[in-house]
Chains A and B, each alone.
Chain A
């Protein structure tokens, strides 16, 4: 299934992320999460990278859950401290729904991240998306890890000069990050200018159109899969609104 046409994967991502934004009831979101997980594995997402990403976002997820639990005051109280309700049913449900929403988005992103960039560009080209737009998207996605590496390199350079990050207070750390941001952004701007020059030197933007050496073709399996996904999407949306 990992060789499914990128357009089918894009359609699946669109369905999952749209569902994640539309659904607010827990059972539906849980169902969507299950569907999304199945697709993630079937479409050949890098499981290790996904696990790493989930682990990295875990503190943020827990914070989001905590914020919902603390600030949503409606619903049946579930946990009291003395007479004060700390956890309510609605707070827990909303927190869980929001968490699932993030999981779904991460899983969808993992599927596209696992896809060959050139196949995605070729798919965009078949979909008549202007190539300047699709390349901009690709370069931006490839630039994010570069930006993150530049930032961690700058942090390592500081540590090699004797700054012990672990001993700094949170305020001092935040100040340090703020001070590092400008040179790292400046470095990213320089790199992006160089990249633009290199791309242009190889003819990028020279013609209103460009050909694609890599060809993607929708097979019968891809069309059937798209059809099944489309029907599932319609049924899910109808079910969500007509059977609350």
Chain B
């Protein structure tokens, strides 16, 4: 069964032109799929649809459906979606809103009503994954851009999602942080996590099992 699957997805923002037209895609457990395409081709929009942000938070004319392990995304509650799908956005500054790293990582598990002991375990585990265990009590404002993005990734990992969606998460990272994040993604793949990521650079193709290209509202699988 596919971890994440989009069937016949068409989308337009209001009366504007159709951004996505009958798009099909899938990601299997333990697989990393990269989505490429020129600016404005709808890559971020497709990520938002795949993660349920559209139509939950942003409106538009959406057709087709997204399946999460065979279940239509729209039939799941927000809690069920969050337990299964983690989304990492491009800009780390907009993803961190608590004073310290620990607070930031606790936020997601607290929303899922997890007990304190479990939250502590997940914080330690997520920080360890992004190699930032010593930063637990550090203020987020003092972190570098790359460190902030790693903390944002750790905050997503603390939710232990089965599907990870990354929207150009590497675009603002330095070389060292890029290497660490790539290492994290490799480990997550080994654990069976499905990864769907938007990235245009050739340097990230090594992570991918398959690559999609989105252009003119159409999607096609390209050879690696």
Contact residues of A with B, CB < 8 Å? Answer: 116-118, 139, 142, 191, 193-207, 209-215
CA distance A198 to B153 in the complex (A): 12
Chain B window 95-126, contacts with chain A (Cβ cutoff 8 Å), 1 for yes, 0 for no? 10111101100111111111110011001000
The smallest beta-carbon distance between A65 and chain B, in angstroms, is: 36
CA distance A117 to B106 in the complex (A): 13
Q: Is B224 an interface position by the 8 A CB rule?
A: no
Given A118-B98, A142-B97, CB of A200 within 8 Å of CB of B115 = no
Q: Is B159 an interface position by the 8 A CB rule?
A: yes
CA distance A197 to B53 in the complex (A): 7
Residues in B whose Cβ lies below 8 Å from that of A206 = 77-79, 82, 111-112
Residues in A whose Cβ lies below 8 Å from that of B113 = 207, 209-211
The smallest beta-carbon distance between A142 and chain B, in angstroms, is: 7
Chain B window 68-91, contacts with chain A (Cβ cutoff 8 Å), 1 for yes, 0 for no? 000000000111001100110101
Q: Give A215's nearest chain B residue, CB to CB.
A: B116
Q: Are A203 and B116 in contact (CB under 8 A)?
A: no
Given A206-B82, A206-B112, CB of A197 within 8 Å of CB of B57 = yes
Residues in B whose Cβ lies below 8 Å from that of A211 = 109-110, 113-116, 119
**Across chains A and B, which 7 residue pairs bring their CB atoms closest together, nearest first?**
A203-B111, A206-B79, A213-B106, A203-B82, A202-B108, A206-B78, A213-B119
Q: Is B56 an interface position by the 8 A CB rule?
A: yes
Chain B window 115-144, contacts with chain A (Cβ cutoff 8 Å), 1 for yes, 0 for no? 110011001000000000000000000000
Residues in A whose Cβ lies below 8 Å from that of B56 = 200
CA distance A196 to B57 in the complex (A): 8
Residues in B whose Cβ lies below 8 Å from that of A196 = 57
Q: Give A213's nearest chain B residue, CB to CB.
A: B106
CA distance A82 to B54 in the complex (A): 74
B111 contact from A118, A193, A198, A210, Cβ within 8 A: A210
A210 contact from B94, B95, B110, B156, Cβ within 8 A: B110
Q: Give B95's nearest chain A residue, CB to CB.
A: A198
CA distance A191 to B95 in the complex (A): 11
CA distance A209 to B111 in the complex (A): 8
- Taking residues whose C-beta sits less than 8 angstroms from the other chain, chain B's interface range is 35 or more
Residues in A whose Cβ lies below 8 Å from that of B156 = 202
Specify which of B58, B94, B100 lies most central, judged by the most chain A CB atoms within 10 Å of its CB: B94
A194 contact from B82, B94, B100, B112, Cβ within 8 A: B94
A-B contacts, 11 of them at CB < 8 A, read A116-B99, A117-B98, A118-B99, A196-B57, A197-B53, A200-B53, A200-B57, A201-B86, A202-B108, A202-B159, A206-B79
Specify which of B79, B95, B119, B155 lies most central, judged by the most chain A CB atoms within 10 Å of its CB: B95
Q: Give A116's nearest chain B residue, CB to CB.
A: B99
Q: Is B146 an interface position by the 8 A CB rule?
A: no
Q: Give A118's nearest chain B residue, CB to CB.
A: B103
Residues in A whose Cβ lies below 8 Å from that of B115 = 211
Q: Is B51 an interface position by the 8 A CB rule?
A: yes
Q: Are A213 and B110 in contact (CB under 8 A)?
A: yes
Residues in B whose Cβ lies below 8 Å from that of A118 = 98-100, 103, 106
Q: Are A202 and B97 in contact (CB under 8 A)?
A: no
Q: Are B97 and A201 in contact (CB under 8 A)?
A: no
CA distance A32 to B155 in the complex (A): 44
Given A196-B57, A197-B53, A202-B155, CB of A213 within 8 Å of CB of B109 = yes
The smallest beta-carbon distance between B196 and chain A, in angstroms, is: 14
Q: Are B108 and A203 in contact (CB under 8 A)?
A: yes
Specify which of A142, A201, A203 lies most central, judged by the most chain B CB atoms within 10 Å of its CB: A201
Q: Are A202 and B99 in contact (CB under 8 A)?
A: no
The smallest beta-carbon distance between A214 and chain B, in angstroms, is: 7
Residues in A whose Cβ lies below 8 Å from that of B123 = 213
Q: Give A139's nearest chain B residue, CB to CB.
A: B97
The smallest beta-carbon distance between B89 and chain A, in angstroms, is: 7
The smallest beta-carbon distance between B88 and chain A, in angstroms, is: 9
